[in-house]
Structure 1
Amino acid sequence: MSQSIHSIDSKLVHEHNKHIIKPPDFSLSSIKQYFVTRFTSLWVGTEELKQYSLSQVLNPFQPLVELNLHQWNFFAVSFLGWTLDAFDFFTTSLNVSNIAKDLNVSIYDITWGITLVLLLRTVGAVIFGLLGDNWGRKWPFIINLGILAVIQLGTGFVKTYKQFLAVRAIFGIAMGGIFGITCGDALGDAPKNARGVLSGIFQEGYALGYLFAVIFQRAIANTTKPGWRSLFWFSAGLSLLLMVWRATMSETDSYKRQKERMKENAAAKKNSKFAEFKSQYKKVIKTHWLIMIYLIIMMSFFNYSSHASQDINDKVTVINVCANLGALAGGIVISHASNFIGRRTAAICGNIIAGAFIYPWAFKPMWVTAFFMQFGIQGSWSIVPIHLSELSPASMRVFLSGVAYQLGNMASSASSTIEARIEQNLHIYGQTMSIFVGCVVACLFLTMLFGPENRGADLGMERDDELSVYDIDDEENDDKKEILNDTSCEKPEVEHKV
């Protein structure tokens, strides 16, 4: 086959190569440069902002028209999978007293079932993360949903407390595997311009799951003879419907390229697929170990901010509704803004908004304070799916994003205990909430300020291919050309890696 030298625009090559994450450099000059750029990179610059029209900046839904049917299909099934995950979780928390009465145990005993779920979610993230990265996302997702359906169905038939704990423990493992897989499929093939707002919409699926749980609690659990058991049986049916939908679909295009690359590398090295899988993971850990630690710390503070700010005025309906509306609005607005001003800067803006409303939210809870508090908290949260995806290596994106998320969730499970201890010492609830949330928001602010960023990075295996201004124009380089062509439509970014 004939080959010809094809010259590539140097600007496009630079845009591609600067997203490549390399092993951390601990030389004094590199450390100094890194910390200096944590401040200088917060502002993208007037020149970059001038490249966007006013409608692009103000209309968060405009990028969504770039999605085709294939991309919408994957986003929708993933979004609903994440929403169902939340729905299934809240079926227990909304029925703690009902289950305790039915099983003749205390409410405290039933809350151990919730604790088991939180503790075992990391196990599920590890298991399904490894499966999703190496054997595809389709069947691990279907199996995951199948386990959730069986467990929810079984929970509705439990007769003893021990049976309840057993099924909730297995549920925790299954629940922990959902985020990594659905996040990977939701954003994997999405256009770069739309990834910001899609990230926010996807993340708010968890809040939507809670809302659906409340609605169907009133519609089913409170009106049927089996009571709370009916709600668990109903959720099992929803999982089955989603399994059928996902079974009609293949893998994402980005995962197909990843699988083909792994196959080619294994053949070139005369390795088995499993040996190539281990080789890739060793390489990734060597390069990304510091980012892995950072992501776990970041997700711990994100989860703390969520739990700490949602425990006030839960019984006031109007305030709760306004808080959820604020979360939805913040999730869409700030995630969309992150495409222009950066993921870190967008999250920091959300933290500043939340920080400004801590005092009135804690001492004078009203609909407006609840709205803007959650606007800031959940607005910051909205960048999490895309930020995790851009910083995680393609070969272990499901694993790393899922494990980091669930480890952070496990770490934050102590938030209620910390709040109770502070309140015990101060004897003032509003002051307790304001101190704790203020500390969490400040820690998250610093974590985002000094953390890395990889805004606009490609989510495929080709991201780590270092290119030159000269490339061989043959079939083996089609992936590189595709990435460069995609990059040519993307606005230049400012700062991306450690």
Structure 2
Amino acid sequence: MSSINEPADPLAKGTFATAKQAWKDLFIWKQRVVVRNEHGEEHTEWKSPDPLKNPISLMAQLSAKDWVFFIVGFCSWSADAFDFHALSIQTTKLAKFYKRSNTDISTAITLTLLLRSIGAAIFGFAGDKWGRKWPMVINMIILGLLQIATIYSATFQQFLAVRALFGLFMGGVYGNAIAMALENCPTNARGLMSGILQQGYSFGYVMAACANLGVGGSTDSWKTVFWGGAGVSIGVGVIRIFFPESQQFIDAKKAGKRTKAPGVFWNETKRMLGAEWRMCIYCIVLMTWFNYYSHTSQDSYTTFMIASKELNSAAATRASILMKTGACVGGTIIGYISQWFGRRRSIIVAAIISACLIPAWILPTTERSLSASGFMIQFFVQGAWGVIPIHLNELSPQAFRSSFPGITYQLGNMISSPSAQIVNAIAESHFVTSVTGKKVDAYGPVMGIATAIIATGIAVTTAFGPERKGREFEGPPVAPIVAKDLEEGRISAEKNNVNAVEEVTEEPGLSEKKL
């Protein structure tokens, strides 16, 4: 964004004041931006969005090292999605294998999503404290091993237990992946790269669907897809070993941030939560809506085409592949446009359009029409999602850019974890008449009504929420300390288990401690 050097009112404080300011800013083309000078002093001013640039030139701004970080983050997120969708896209096969209903099998999806928030907290904080590299390596290798364990689950109870453990380790991938991939991107390339990165999730779905199509429709063929997912995850984990640590973490370590005792890190975490609790709650609510948005509209879509539209497994899988191809395209394009149009405006418009497309999405009866309508609705569903990685990064407290996005995202996942199970349970207890005159499960109406409610919730929540587009990521986090605290001894080297305070600088209106 280009500055027009026009002062703006500071960011509002308080829930209602922030919502009021956010609603007004939505209709102002200029962006309210907090600018920080070399001394750490901040002021707020209006900036006009830069015009959209050639995406090739934006990509060219990334250095070779930036591309390494981005590609590894993308591959990790794609492998994570492959592993998850290897189950959701084969629900009917697993139901036959374990002699259970589709609703029973979707219990595994609920358990996976439920426990992801715990993994996000553990590995997110590990990423902020010890770096992005090794937590991700551990995550990916264990995920691969748990895919193998799923294959050898002889009973349904063993299957559920393994998938619960899978969710624990799956939760640690997202935060570290997007922090590593985006925190070194040039400011004006973030929207484009965020859209591309988020579509790693859709790309993983496409890979899982292609694998499912390739192995055929036999009941035991689901195991082959899981073997493929295990190989992808372990391969990404091993490859990550040979690439360097995130530059952002290295800079912070050189500045001395990670030389502090463990107690100091957790004290900082508690202070961050005390200061940013409103932002935490807002992002959790937003991510709850978004996770319902994606899981409700996609996890049961293949089942919908088989059970309600009476397509065979191959036709339903082909339509699913085209549906998620639309997601890849939409997420990239709308993420790119958000750099000019704004994060919130892009999300709101995409959500509203997706709601308008619901009739065209659930009413068709042929493979071609279902493929086309699925492509279009996922273009906008994942288009809204394409803005989320960079939007969460920009809203994150600076020192917690690995843990904050992952934890808020996975807590939203935890709250929305029953989404697939709810859809299956309601659909299997209600019936509609198919094109052949048979009574079939009512997946279409259930998914349509739920998606309309969720899209409306996303639009409203986003309209009254904050935006920090253009926020600076560069430089290690600075921990401001007021002079009064220093004078009264409330923050001391002994209390925080710090061996020494090397330098304390005080300027008018600014006191800062450097460790």
Q: TM-score range by the shorter chain?
A: 0.7 to 0.9
Which structure has more strand as a fraction of its residues? 2
Match of 2:264 in 1: 276
Match of 2:381 in 1: 377
1:388 deviates by 0.8
Describe how 1:124-273 pairs up with structure 2 within 5 A: 124-220=119-215, 227-263=221-257, 272-273=260-261
Q: TM-score, normalised by structure 2?
A: 0.76
Q: Conserved in 2, the CA contact under 8 Å of 1:426 and 1:432?
A: no
Match of 1:390 in 2: 394
1:82 deviates by 0.6
Q: Which amino acid counterpart does residue 236 of structure 1 have in structure 2?
A: A
Distance 1:362 1:217 in 2: 23
Q: Which amino acid counterpart does residue 124 of structure 1 have in structure 2?
A: G
Q: Which has the higher contact order (CA 8 A, sep 6+)?
A: 1
CA shift in 2, pair 1:173/1:219, >3 Å: same
User: Which shifted more, 249-258 or 322-331?
Assistant: 322-331
Describe how 1:16-415 pairs up with structure 2 within 5 A: 25-26=13-14, 31-32=16-17, 35-45=20-30, 51-52=50-51, 56-57=52-53, 59-99=54-94, 101-102=96-97, 108-220=103-215, 227-263=221-257, 272-310=260-298, 311-312=300-301, 313-315=304-306, 316=316, 319-364=319-364, 366=369, 367-415=371-419
- CA shift digits 1:410-446 (9 cap, x unpaired): 2223334555549968967655444322221111101
Q: Which amino acid counterpart does residue 262 of structure 2 have in structure 1?
A: F
Distance 2:164 2:9 in 1: 40
Distance 1:426 1:262 in 2: 63
CA shift in 2, pair 1:465/1:51, >3 Å: farther
Number of equivalenced pairs: 440
Distance 2:245 2:9 in 1: 25
Distance 2:296 2:209 in 1: 21
Match of 2:463 in 1: 449
Q: Which amino acid counterpart does residue 191 of structure 2 have in structure 1?
A: G
- Secondary structure of 2:418's match? helix
CA shift in 2, pair 1:219/1:317, >3 Å: closer
- Secondary structure of 1:458's match? coil
Q: Which amino acid counterpart does residue 293 of structure 1 have in structure 2?
A: I
Which structure has more helix as a fraction of its residues? 1
Gaps of 5+ in 2: 32-45, 307-315, 433-441, 481-502, 504-515
Q: Conserved in 1, the CA contact under 8 Å of 2:178 and 2:389?
A: yes
Distance 2:217 2:390 in 1: 38
- CA shift digits 1:170-202 (9 cap, x unpaired): 111111111111111111211112111111111
Distance 1:402 1:294 in 2: 14
Distance 1:219 1:199 in 2: 30
Distance 1:219 1:359 in 2: 31
Q: Which amino acid counterpart does residue 177 of structure 2 have in structure 1?
A: T
Gaps of 5+ in 1: 1-10, 267-271, 467-475, 477-498
Q: Which amino acid counterpart does residue 23 of structure 2 have in structure 1?
A: R
- CA shift digits 1:127-184 (9 cap, x unpaired): 1112111111111111111211221222223333333233222111111111111111
CA shift in 2, pair 1:391/1:231, >3 Å: same
Q: Aligned Cα RMSD in Å?
A: 3.4
CA shift in 2, pair 1:425/1:35, >3 Å: farther
User: Which shifted more, 398-407 or 109-118?
Assistant: 109-118
Q: TM-score, normalised by structure 1?
A: 0.78
Describe how 1:467-486 pairs up with structure 2 within 5 A: none
Distance 2:327 2:276 in 1: 32
- CA shift digits 1:317-345 (9 cap, x unpaired): 66534432322222111111111121111
